[in-house]
Amino acid sequence: MTLIPTAEYTAPDVPEGRKFYPGDGEHTTYGHTTQISDVVIKAGGEDRDRPSEAKDTPLGHLRAKLTTIQDQVNVFLTERMKQENLKLSGKEEEDIERRILDDGVDEDDVE
Amino acid sequence: MAGVSSQQSVEELPYKLTLKVPFETARQALIASQTLSPDPILKGNELDVTYDAEDTTLLLKFSGISDRVIRVAISNVIDNLKTIVECIDEFDGKKDVLFEEE
């Protein structure tokens, strides 16, 4: 028996939706987005909360595939959050420029 | 079902993610749903999560006010779900054992 988790995301700007499948690759219980930070790992730190290896059972494989889906969703949503922040910071710059041009506000006066 | 918000309707939470998790049996899907559902939703006006077992499939629906809100919720719930799956894998179908205090 193969147990395959799936996910589907929708948002106002993604009405067609985005689907997530774990795929055929190798799956592990050690997620890239849930482990300790790279800085700590490079400094020789040990992840004491490292999850146990997946057992060779249908539920063991399900746990590993859930980790893959979790990574996919985390990476996707984090990237969207970054894009949103870029849009917001760009808009702030536009607002400052507009205020300077329209109102004659000195750029040095803008925080 | 859990976290039905009273302050804000689901229609006002436009960022949505549905997770479908198949189990070996309907009983396992029900155990997972009933184990996750008591976890309270802290910001009901920003997030709504429902847990349902449909036959052998666990259905998790997240609706949030932003990508940030649902990202945090989804990752936490999947972490909890993996622990539940591991417990079922270890103990489901095993004989009950009483441990004596030494």
Q: What is the pTM of this model?
A: 0.81
Chain A hits for B68, CB-CB cut-off 8 Å, are 77, 81
Asked if the structure places residue B16 within a domain, the reply is yes
Residue B41: domain span: 10-78
pLDDT in tens, B17-28: 999 999 999 999
DSSP percent split of chain B into helix, strand, coil, nearest 5: 40, 25, 40
Domain count, chain B: 1
Contact A57, B89 (CB under 8 A): yes
Q: How many CB atoms lie within 10 A of CB A11?
A: 18
The domain spanning residue B27 has which CATH number?
3.30.310.50
Which residue, chain included where needed, has tokens 């592990």? Answer: A28
Asked if the structure places residue B4 within a domain, the reply is no
Contact B54, B10 (CB under 8 A): no
pLDDT in tens, B32-64: 999 999 887 778 889 999 999 999 999 999 999
Q: Which of A63, A65, A76, A84 would best serve as a mutation to test chain B binding (most B beta carbons within 10 A)?
A: A63
Using alpha carbons, select from B100, B91, B85 the residue that is nearest to residue B22. Answer: B85
For residue A13, what is the DSSP state?
A: T
